[in-house]
Amino acid sequence: MRRAVRLVLPLAAFAVALLALAGAAQAASPSGVVISQLRTRTAASPYDEYVQLTNTTNSTVDVGTWQLYDCYTSGGASRIGTDGDPLPVGTRIPAGGTFVIGKDANDYTGTSDATYNFQVKEDGGFQIRDASGVAQDSVGARGTACAEGTGLTFPTTGDAYTFTRAGGGTTDTDDNAADFGAPSGQADGTACGAPCEAPPAPTPIHAIQGSGTASPLVGQKVEITGVVIGVDQQQGVSNYVNLDPRQAGIYVEAPTIAQDTDTRTSEGIFVGGLSAADRAASHIGQTVTVSGTVTELYNLTTLDASGRSASFTGTAKASNLPAPVTIDPASAAAQTVAANGSRPYYESLEGMRVRLAVGTANSGGTDKFGELFVQPTTRRARIFRDPSGPVAGPPDLLDLAQDAGSADVDPENPSATPSSTTRVKADLFSRVTDAVGPLGFSFSEYQLLPQPGAKPTVTTSGAVAYPPEAPEAQPDTIRVANFNMENLFGAGMTDDGHTFTQAEVDAKTTRLANAIKLMHKPDVLAVQEVASEDALKEVAAKLGNYTEVWKPSTDARHIAVGFLVRNGIQVTDVRQLGVTATTTGASCADDGVSNKLFERPPLRIAIKKGKFRTVLIGNHWASQGHAESCRQAQAAFVNAAARDVDLAGGNVIVLGDLNDYEDSPALTQDLVSGDTTLRNLWSKAPATNRYSFQYDGQLQTLDHIFVDEPLADRFVSLRYVHFDNDYYERNATTSPTGVSDHDPPVATFSLR
């Protein structure tokens, strides 16, 4: 019985036509194209099958709309049915060339030029017919309608399954057994590739973009002609080891005279996968003709030109560029935001040259990825995460990206900041005027890419001043902070494929120490993402008068929770909690397999300063990539640990990178349930100060400090110190700005 699978050849609808059993054997191929090699299985899979065609003539043969048929047995009779859609119009095989049709892309393990849809079993066979329906060649099992002469015996066991036509694929006596002989090995066919591809159809860019969020031509090969309006030089890194060349390329817009009148269809498109020479900024203003496959690359409509070359004509000059479309603030603000971040007004401009007359950086400063999130407005108001709003943030949010002038992400150090000539450096509430470039899409946000030599103007008047406000030491108080140090590794340690040098560690520890000094050196800091006790000791030494407390974790990256404590404060009872704790619910492990409750166990210490005593439990919970139920289980565990302290008559502070929001079930229910009197100090910070993290242009809080009731009576103030989120990175060797992606909360308590 034949196994039906999904249809993979484009354009034509599937049809099966049962034909009468052929009488006489077919004559030698009229066109000279024969089935030269085939197999119906391998030792590993009964579906790993293919047919190889060979053009035995001295001229190119057009096989466009030719169709593969297969033989099978039904009702006790051998029958022939269509086994896939016709080959695309214009497909051709050069003289002496081979062309492979493999079974379904997920079954045939070799490289194919086309695919078919049904399993051909060992009692069947193949027939190839031209556009008029004339059989050009047939190969089949004995007694089937596809057999020529004696036919073949297809093996079902062993390790020899490949039949190869004699004479280098040219012998054709109309007797399969004589022409092919016995099978040998399991070799794949030899695909033709580009020489056999049908020439792409010249297609208007607006037809590719269509009027919706995705192209109506996805998967089709097309050719476009237009003006190069911008470049994207940065290949993204995948899985920390491989660059994705499809993410670097050029933006092409149709000439004004060729644009349609439908305001829903964009006239621009991104062309990815081009060589460095083809995506050089020197091509901006030239006319380009290029072909490729239409794809939705992470929801950006893209012409994937991997392995192809672009043809450039004309002079690269600014006067050749189409006038940019000035973004209308009202239309931008009125958009509806889809779950994947798509916005209809911006989507209608995707790939086109646009202009932002004025934008305000309401999400913070330029981040470590070179992104500056702005709104097309002069209004200054922080963009906070809205639990009831779109996941992707406000409808008018735009990302000014650095990719046009950036080096590639380094796969050996993917966390490093690549250099860029087009990075827009700005702080929170800075104004950006006259930003011009193509409009792209990445990570659920629309990107405007300023081009080399055309950076916008940044106005700092009205922006937040540096350094940020931080609580200073007051008499008879103690200050407690939380600080995610973001990847503090030791020299020689490896993370994400990168081995840290001593110079890198020295710079990191210097910047972290300077950040803590900017915080006016709190008395106690719970710290996270520390993979090396020696590196934490370096921070303590550069601060002076601090002692580190740290214990290793079972995390795959070795990052763990620790503390920095001012000398003079007594530390006792240091212990990790939940080292062997497990969960039966959603996995909290990054591998998604382990049943460990904590990969980074909470660290508990007791401190004493004069008559002030308390227990601190430092935490680094599972990330937002895990289910909320995971963090709820972690919260319940810490809740029980805090309750034990309360029941013993002590005081407790629970703090850390909890990786959850102030309104989450883990923090509003599980951590504060039962007999504990824990309460979150988040609401005690000034309203405009309540954030520790920025994600996709939205300010939010992942770092928290909880205290029990007796300590709540001693509470004086809480403030988040925004040296990471509010400012662009000043100096990668000494500056606190950008040393982490988290802003630390600092809480002050009275000792009286």
Kindly report, residue by residue over 219-230, the tens digit of the pLDDT: 888 999 999 999
Tens-digit pLDDT profile for residues 354-397: 999 999 999 999 999 999 999 999 999 999 999 999 999 999 99
Which residues on adjacent β-strands are paired with residue 72? 79
Tens-digit pLDDT profile for residues 202-252: 999 999 999 999 999 998 889 999 999 999 999 987 666 778 899 999 999
Tens-digit pLDDT profile for residues 307-319: 889 999 999 999 9
Q: Output the pLDDT for position 349.
A: 98
Reply yes or no on whether the pLDDT at 499 is more than 80.
yes
Please name the residues in contact with 704: beta carbons below 8 A apart, sequence gap of 6 or more: 482, 655, 656, 658, 662, 667, 680, 681, 682, 745
Q: Output the pLDDT for position 133.
A: 92
- Read off the tokens for 687: 């309203």
Reply yes or no on whether the pLDDT at 256 is more than 80.
yes
What percent of the chain has pLDDT above 90? 84
DSSP 49-82: -EEEEEE-SSS-EE-TT-EEEEEEEETTEEEEEE
Question: Residue 521 — left, alpha, or beta (φ > 0 → left; ψ -120 to 50 → alpha)?
Answer: left
Largest CA distance in the chain: 107
Q: What is the mean pLDDT of the chain?
A: 93
What percent of the chain has pLDDT above 70? 96
Q: How confident is the model at residue 27 (pLDDT cuts 50, 70, 90)?
A: low
Q: How confident is the model at residue 477 (pLDDT cuts 50, 70, 90)?
A: very high
Q: For domain 199-320, give the CATH superfamily.
A: Nucleic acid-binding proteins (2.40.50.140)
- Which whole-number Å values give the CA distances from 96 to 25, 33, 56, 165, 749, in the listed order? 25, 9, 5, 14, 85
Tens-digit pLDDT profile for residues 679-706: 999 999 999 999 999 999 999 999 999 9
Angle, helix 533-543 to helix 502-518, in steps of 10 degrees? 50
Please name the residues in contact with 31: beta carbons below 8 A apart, sequence gap of 6 or more: 57, 61, 130, 136
- Read off the tokens for 128: 């190839």
Reply yes or no on whether the pLDDT at 9 is more than 50.
no
Mean pLDDT over residues 337-353, rounded?
A: 97
What is the helix (H) or strand (E) element at residue 749, kind and residue range?
strand 745-750
Q: Output the pLDDT for position 593.
A: 85
Nearest to 466 by CA among 364, 575, 341: 364
Domain boundaries along the sequence of the chain: 33-195, 199-320, 479-728
Q: Provide CATH code, domain 479-728.
A: 3.60.10.10
- Answer whether CATH 3.80.10 is correct for domain 33-195: no
Q: How confident is the model at residue 108 (pLDDT cuts 50, 70, 90)?
A: very high
Nearest to 244 by CA among 232, 231, 227, 252: 232
Whether residue 329 contacts residue 396, with contact meaning beta carbons closer than 8 Å, is answered with: yes
Reply yes or no on whether the pLDDT at 5 is more than 50.
no
Q: Phi and psi at residue 150, in whole multiples of 5°?
A: -70, -35
Task: Give the separation between CA 337 and CA 626, rounded to whole angstroms.
Answer: 24
The amino acid sitting at 323 is: A
Whether residue 363 contacts residue 699, with contact meaning beta carbons closer than 8 Å, is answered with: yes
Identify which of 12-16, 309-313, 586-590 has the greatest average pLDDT.
309-313
What is the helix (H) or strand (E) element at residue 205, kind and residue range?
helix 205-209
Q: Output the pLDDT for position 10.
A: 34
Name residue, tokens 């565990």: 637
Mean pLDDT over residues 147-174, rounded?
A: 95
What is the value of pTM for the model shown? 0.81
3-state helix, strand, coil in the chain (%, to 5): 15, 30, 55
Q: Are 199-320 and 479-728 equal in CATH topology?
A: no
Are β-strands 560-566 and 603-609 bridged in parallel, bridged antiparallel, or unpaired? unpaired
Reply yes or no on whether the pLDDT at 22 is more than 80.
no
Q: How confident is the model at residue 412 (pLDDT cuts 50, 70, 90)?
A: confident
Q: Output the pLDDT for position 17.
A: 33
Q: Output the pLDDT for position 511.
A: 98
Mean pLDDT over residues 407-423, rounded?
A: 88
Reply yes or no on whether the pLDDT at 134 is more than 70.
yes
Q: Phi and psi at residue 516, in whole multiples of 5°?
A: -70, -35
Name residue, tokens 């354009």: 11
Q: How confident is the model at residue 26 (pLDDT cuts 50, 70, 90)?
A: very low
Name the least confident of 6-20, 209-223, 399-413, 565-579: 6-20
Whether residue 61 contacts residue 114, with contact meaning beta carbons closer than 8 Å, is answered with: no
Q: How confident is the model at residue 105 (pLDDT cuts 50, 70, 90)?
A: low
Buried/exposed 204-214: b ≥16 CB within 10 Å, e otherwise:
bbbebbbeebe
Are β-strands 431-442 and 457-459 bridged in parallel, bridged antiparallel, or unpaired? antiparallel
Q: Where are the beta strands (DSSP E) in 443-510?
A: 445-448, 457-459, 477-488, 494-495, 498-499
Q: How confident is the model at residue 194 (pLDDT cuts 50, 70, 90)?
A: confident
Q: Output the pLDDT for position 239.
A: 67
Task: Give the separation between CA 17 and CA 748, rounded to whole angstroms.
Answer: 81
Tens-digit pLDDT profile for residues 619-666: 999 999 999 999 999 999 999 999 999 999 999 999 999 999 999 999
